[in-house]
Amino acid sequence: MVKTTCCYCGVGCGVIVREDRNGQITVEGDKDHPVNKGMLCSKGMNLHYTVMDTSDRLLQPEMRYNRYQSRQQVSWDQALERTAAVFKTFIDKYGPDSVAFYASGQCLTEEYYVVNKLIKGFIGSNNIDTNSRLCMSSAVVGYKMALGEDAVPVCYDDIELADCIFVAGANPAWCHPILWRRVEAAKAANPDLQIIVSDPRVTQTASIATLHLQVLPGTDVVLHHAIGRILIEEGYIDPVFLHANTNGYEAYRDNVMQRSVEEAAAICQVPAENIRQAALLIGEAKGFMSMWTMGLNQSAIGVNKNLSLLNLHLITGQIGKPGSGPLSLTGQPNAMGGREVGGLSNLLPAHRNLENPAHRQEVQAFWGGTTISDKPGLTATQMFEALENGSLKAIWIMCTNPLVSLPDVKRAEAALKKAKFVVVQEISNKPETLAYADVVLPAAAWIEKEGTMTNAERRITYLPKLKEPPGNALPDAEIICRFAQKMGYHGFDYTDAAAIYAEHCALTAGTNIDISSLSHDTIKAARSIQWPYQQQGTQRLFTDGKFYTPDQKAVIHSFPDVNESESLSPEHPLILTTGRIRDQWHTMSKTGKVGKLKQHIPQSFIEIHPEDAVDRGIGEGDLVEVNGARGSVRVKAQLSEKIKKGVVFLPMHWGKILGNDLQRANNITSPMIDKKSKQPDFKYAAVNARRY
Ligand code: SF4
């Protein structure tokens, strides 16, 4: 029996896993875990099927010498020696930026740490990004700009202490279910808890809301500014906090006063009265919490959406107090752990900044490798653009499936086809990337390796190994370390994952996320610990009103409220938004194996308002072609008054089925990205729909 953590979403539920004498695995929620107290959602309850069914597992390294050959099974040494030889050739000929690693928010912290160290500290490029770029990067930039660092101020215990929760652009009832059960329980215990939801769809989350604001996609900043204006006009701001602990209020006030609430209501397509009610609920609250995910983050103005929400906390002083503050809901289980080790192309370990020469020097001296480049690396979408234009020669894809998850995915697929050398490190033989792989490296899955993860409330947990991986699969960190040694680099001969973690902890000393006195053993003993950690974990940040900016004041930013997504046209007049469904996870390489999880929604669909459907002669269940400037999908129609007129919804999960990509939503999503965070705009693409 082992106590571990669910490997799906960023809620971070505690799980007890047992294996009997016959190898049968069972899972149950850990009643003693502070996050879930024994509860698991449908995905968590079915985790055991994903590890028991090994029929799709990659078991042996494979390799080919050219694209005209099929891959052959080879030894680990053969695969890694050839990969090292190819990487060295490209680095010598074209420089270190000719290679890149594209990893995942599902990697363990130790895995992130070694791959980040490898490319930044030894290869000498910052070309490492992860699929967290698609998920949280706008929140990261928002936190850094407003609070001085990528630091979630609150903890889950604040849910029970809040009396107003604003859920913006998120459906946690489906996407973070166990956290939402806590909100539902808090509401049941305290009927005065006010819940505001802003979403173009009437989701299950909205079903318990005091107030649902069915906003038009792309108008969140307008909405938040209008709420800010009312808070100011009605005297709900905190002048003492504003004066002592923030900068930028006057410019913000002047900015939000430029648009009337009625104008804002017309732009957002919600009644002005409802915006006023939302502002009053927030203003009257003793504890005001906000939660958000992709509706704010995945946008061409994702950072502005984040900042405009953070501003509501700053002008009211509702941060750093019990029951108050912003909680970004992490999509992936360890997106936060990845950020802690600096696992994005513009970050350094322990939240150090790549653009800071002193920070680069500190890390370089610690690692003892090559000079850390001051040039930010390629981000997720930029990597595929660089493959397309030939400047990037080799890409190593680790634990992620970009040919389902990237926007404008047909272009990404064409780019991958042009790559000179592709390495795919994976557990499953299903991902579409394998068709383009020159080298395939079989990886160990959840409970077949050990390491740590950090959930959305900064809670670090240890995940033990319960069973051996099948075949010759290896833990991801070991694969990277073996490769680094084949490259001739020192400093990768760790005895185990605990040694990697010890090095990561040491590198955090003196930073705002200091966990230098932590170790695997300390976390095991405590079950879970929140960072920063000295003698004990820290539930809340900024309780003293001091932020991580140079003058310790939070920054209230001002900016225009215009959306910068692609424009609608007579040819493509509908707004496409994509998202998750309750029982599937990302690109379905794990949840897609579980029959029970397919029962909820077995195939993709388009949700469309009945009036939009009637205009196009579309009936319930009809096959519909949804087309945009970049391609099309063909799925069945689901007519629903729960989606805003003029907006259609596609689930993000489906990729190619028997080579057919007609259910793949990202065929038609927009290639636009936020200028600051480089996060793609999955929530706004111009499309049309017709009966097929
Ligand atoms: Fe796993 Fe998230 Fe469900 Fe918890 S809420 S069981 S972490 S998928």
pLDDT per position as a tens digit, 247-273 = 999 999 999 999 999 999 999 999 999
Ligand 1 centre to CA of 333 (Å) is: 9
Contact 144, 557 (CB under 8 A): no
Ligand 1 centre to CA of 534 (Å) is: 28
Q: Write the CA distances from 570 to 431, 471, 574, 671, integer angstroms.
A: 36, 55, 9, 20
Torsion of the alpha carbons at 174, 28, 333 and 521, rounded to the nearest 10: 160
Ligand 1 centre to CA of 363 (Å) is: 34
- Ligand 1 lined by 301 (C-beta under 6 Å): no
Q: Write the CA distances from 470 to 47, 58, 59, 138, integer angstroms.
A: 17, 8, 6, 38
Q: Per-residue pLDDT tens for 400-439? A: 999 999 999 999 999 999 999 999 999 999 999 999 999 9
3-state secondary structure of 133: helix
Q: Per-residue pLDDT tens for 89-144? A: 999 999 999 999 999 999 999 999 999 999 999 999 999 999 999 999 999 999 99
Q: What is the Cα–Cα distance from 146 to 311, expressed in whole angstroms?
A: 8
Ligand 1 centre to CA of 29 (Å) is: 10
Residue 598 has pLDDT above 90, yes or no: no
Reported pTM: 0.97
Exposed e or buried b per residue across 98-122, where buried means at least 16 C-beta atoms within 10 angstroms of its C-beta = bbbbbbbbbbbbbbbbbbbbbbbbb
Query: Which pLDDT belongs to residue 173?
Result: 97
Longest dimension (CA), the chain: 71
Ligand 1 centre to CA of 262 (Å) is: 40
Tokens describing residue 27: 């899972």
Which of 178, 457, 580 maximizes ligand 1 atoms within 8 Å of its Cβ, making it the mutation to test the pocket? Answer: 178
Query: Rounded to an integer, what is the distance from CA 249 to the centroid of its chain?
Result: 30
Q: What is the Cα–Cα distance from 690 to 692, expressed in whole angstroms?
A: 6
- Ligand 1 lined by 279 (C-beta under 6 Å): no
Instruction: For the chain, list the domains and their CATH numbers.
Output: 2-52 (2.20.25.90), 62-135+333-449+467-494 (3.40.50.740), 142-328 (3.40.228.10), 574-691 (2.40.40.20)
- Ligand 1 lined by 12 (C-beta under 6 Å): yes
Q: Which atom in ligand 1 lies closest to the alpha carbon of residue 40? A: 6
Contact 686, 389 (CB under 8 A): no
- Ligand 1 lined by 352 (C-beta under 6 Å): no
Average pLDDT of the segment spanning 678-688: 98
Query: Which pLDDT belongs to residue 588?
Result: 85
Q: What is the Cα–Cα distance from 520 to 518, expressed in whole angstroms?
A: 7
Whether this model's ipTM surpasses 0.95 comes out as yes
